[in-house]
Amino acid sequence: MNDRPYAVFSCDLDTVDRHLQGYGIDDAPACDRIYRAAVPRLLELFAELGVPGVLFVIARDAHAERALWRDAAAAGHEIASHSLTHTQPFSTLDDERLHTELAESRARLSEASGVEVIGFRAPAWDVTERVLAMIADCGYRYDASVFPTPVLIASRLAAYRRSAHKGSIFSMDLVGHAFAPAAPHRLRSVRNGLIEFPISVTRWLRLPVYHTFSYFVPPWLFARGLRSALRSGRPLCYEFHAADLLDLAHDGVDHRLDRHPGMQVPLAAKRAALRDVLATIARERRIVTYRQAIEEGIAA
């Protein structure tokens, strides 16, 4: 077995309308733009680099896009759940609605992809102990929602400023996230030994090693954080979004998404930046899926 530390590339396939809902814009119609434009570019990029990825899919569109998910699974990528409808805030849903979002999304995506879905990431990383317990109860083997950085608080404030409707930014446990363990680990508080794969941060300052962060800081600072994470020897869980491979104008994206990080950047520049980061990681780490990490016994 390759003894290099591993890394995981995961992409959240938030649709344009669900991004807009997160900004308080509730009148956007369901949109398939990411499936027609961004996902093919993503799969092409993974193929170019020769790496697998994890696709966190909103299960609302599972059946309509089943050919896409079957092709992705056949190419070695993992399909995981990003909930049924990507409702925000997520952790405040009542028990019945929360169970539906978790169980129904897992069932639909498993059927659509032809492979049992074992992983979950919450919309906007909004998990609590209650949500994690229900994730385990619904049969998932891992969660990838915890973002262990104090920068999450600033991120929520920034999203609040960009939002059309000023709802609460404190529905999630921001402090609990900020100081949670930063390496993959089993959750002792959950019955079936659910594994948590946190989004990567630097060791001491806990700066995010997360693609959206690159739109907010100087390139040298982001590169320094990435180097720090690679030197740490910890597994590196690198997250980005399908919107990172969308062009606001040429892809016919709802103009109201211009508030989203990176949407003012030309597609060629965004793709080149993402490719450079993924290639840098792939040169130093063995790239696996979360499922592979669990099956190989290297997850935690």
Identify the band that residue 24 occupies on the pLDDT scale cut at 50, 70 and 90.
confident
Q: What pLDDT was estimated at residue 157? A: 67
pLDDT in tens, 265-282: 999 999 999 999 999 999
| Weakest-pLDDT range from 91-95, 168-172, 183-187 | 168-172
Q: Which of 204, 148, 208 is nearest to 181 (CA)?
A: 148
- 3-class secondary-structure state, position 9: strand
Place of tokens 């109201």: 256
Alpha-carbon distance of 46 to 118, in angstroms, equals: 21
**Mean of per-residue pLDDT scores for the chain:** 92
Q: Which structure tokens are listed for 106? A: 């897992």
Residue written as token pair 């700066």: 207
pLDDT at 179: 86
**Structure confidence at residue 116 (pLDDT):** 98
How far are the Cα atoms of 174, 177, 254 from residue 225, in angstroms, in the given order?
21, 19, 33
Query: What b/e string do you get for 215-249 counting C-beta neighbours within 10 Å, with b at 16 or more?
Result: beeeeeebeebbebbbebebbbbbbbbbbbbbbbe
Write out the two tokens for 149: 């950085």
Give the chain's domains with CATH numbers: 6-295 (3.20.20.370)
What is the model's pLDDT at position 166?
43
State percent of the chain over pLDDT 90.
84
Q: How confident is the model at residue 173 (pLDDT cuts 50, 70, 90)?
A: confident
pLDDT score for 176: 77
Q: Which residue has the tokens 């930046």?
A: 273
- Confidence (pLDDT) at 3: 76
* Per-residue confidence band for 128, with pLDDT thresholds at 50, 70 and 90: very high
Q: Is the pLDDT of residue 142 over 90?
A: yes
pLDDT score for 300 = 83
Q: What is the pLDDT of residue 299?
A: 94
